[in-house]
Chain A
Amino acid sequence: MKRTIPLIIAFLVGMGLVLDNFITFAPLNTSMVSLRSWLVILALFSLMVAALNLLMVHIPRIMKRKGTWSQSIVLVTFMLLTIISGIFIGTKGTVYQTLYTGIMTPGGSTVTALLAFFIASAAVRTFRARNLESTLLLITAIILMLSNVTIGNAISQYIPTIGNWITNVPNATAQRGLIISSSLAFVTINLRNILGFSTQWLGGKD
């Protein structure tokens, strides 16, 4: 029951959604319309599970004073402050807006901005023309870097032209190959999930 019924549910749901695209049969089509709207509600609940899980990890850490518990205090405090101000005062209130504009926005952006340093440093230290393949990669990268920015056109009008050609011909060719291959992989993996050949998503041993 713990494994069989979920597999049966997965089969019925998956096959129903696939067949809905090919068969005109009123009971099937109507039930799939309802199912698609149910998925949205389920996704909302899974969002809440993720957030509650975070509390369940950090609160025991604080109570047991284990590991990085002082950081956990900061995390839980700010999380609860945001939730209380957002839900009870409102998202247009000063506290929520301050937390969003003062902490969330700069934090989210700056964490990703750090990658610019790391990518530059990694490129400078490791990009070497050791053989034909790495030389091609290097030359293409340099041409594309110049053609993507305004200075490329300022240096020579041919740089953007060559950059466009690289993007639209060899790059598009390779990406098309990747798209075709990944679509086959996507179909295989999802069919295995629906038909019950792959049960990793069930988790657990029971």
Chain B
Amino acid sequence: MHISNDPVVWLAAFITVSFLSFVFWNDSPFYKYVQSAYLGVAAGVTVVVGWGNIKNQVITPLTNGDFSMVVPIILGCLLLIRLIPGLNWVARYPVAVLVAGGAGLGLANTVQAQFVSQIKTALLPLNSIDNVIMFVGLIAVLAFFFLTGRTTHTIEKYKLGWLTYLGRIVLMIAFGASFGTTVMGRCSILIGRLQFLLTNFLGL
């Protein structure tokens, strides 16, 4: 065992153990203050990186006589006015651009990317058991989503209870698969931290 003599590694180990202490000692004052320090640094890093980008993409071009970004700069400043009580409504103009911008960009390609492509892929020749399962399974899952809820009377009217039940079964298998991989993901992160403590800090 060769414990590190790097103060930064010691600090990182201290922070790691402080957060891990939550598991055994719950919300101790120790944990709370370390958490506040972490949140402060996280917010600070966001500001530093954001400021770097603003300097490179907004301030430097402006000082060099490039006024192509004047409109978004004005809108951005209106967004900052949101923080003044009573003038929150001013931020609606830039928020409108942001919300509609995200919506418009996504809308145009969603139908092709997620709807048409996936339906095309689902239209398989029914010449193998896997293909039959995938085709029938998809119809069952879509029936479950669209027919349960407000249109439950449709299930009773056309006796489609078996189809929605099949959809639920397929979904349960998918959720089981998701859970299985989620456990793996969470364990990976814990293993990563323990690797740091054992290798970088304790030198094992």
Contact = CB atoms under 8 A, between A and B. Distances in A.
Given A113-B190, A170-B173, A180-B114, A98 B11 contact: yes
B47 interface: yes
B121 A176 contact: yes
A12 B104 CA distance: 10
Nearest to B145: A181
Counting chain B CB atoms within 10 Å of each CB, the highest count among A101, A134, A170 belongs to A170
A12 B169 CA distance: 44
B19 A110 contact: yes
B155 interface: no
B76 A45 contact: yes
Contact of B38 (A39, A48, A104): A104
A191 B104 CA distance: 8
B29 to A, nearest CB: 9
A194 B171 contact: no
B100 A180 contact: no
Contacts of A155: none
B172 A136 contact: yes
Interface in A1-39: 2-3, 5-7, 9-18, 20-22, 34-39
Given A166-B177, A180-B115, A74 B96 contact: no
A173 B175 CA distance: 12
A172 B173 CA distance: 10
B110 A187 contact: yes
Nearest to A119: B186
Given A79-B41, A137-B172, A74 B36 contact: yes
Interface of B (DSSP majority class): helix
Interface string B100-124: 1111111111110111001101100
B45 A82 contact: yes
A110 B37 CA distance: 14
A102 interface: yes
Given A13-B100, A75-B36, A91 B48 contact: yes
A54 interface: yes
A148 B182 CA distance: 11
A191 B111 CA distance: 12
15 contacts: A41-B57, A41-B73, A42-B94, A52-B80, A76-B40, A86-B48, A87-B48, A107-B41, A116-B189, A169-B134, A170-B133, A170-B173, A173-B137, A202-B95, A203-B92
Interface of B: 7-8, 11-13, 15-16, 19-20, 22-23, 32-48, 50-54, 57-58, 68-69, 71-73, 75-77, 79-80, 82-83, 88-89, 92-111, 113-115, 118-119, 121-122, 130, 133-134, 137-138, 141-142, 144-146, 167-184, 186-187, 189-190, 192-193, 196
Given A47-B46, A137-B175, 19 more contacts: A3-B92, A14-B107, A39-B105, A44-B57, A49-B83, A52-B80, A56-B83, A86-B44, A104-B42, A110-B15, A117-B190, A141-B183, A144-B177, A170-B170, A170-B174, A176-B121, A176-B138, A180-B118, A190-B102
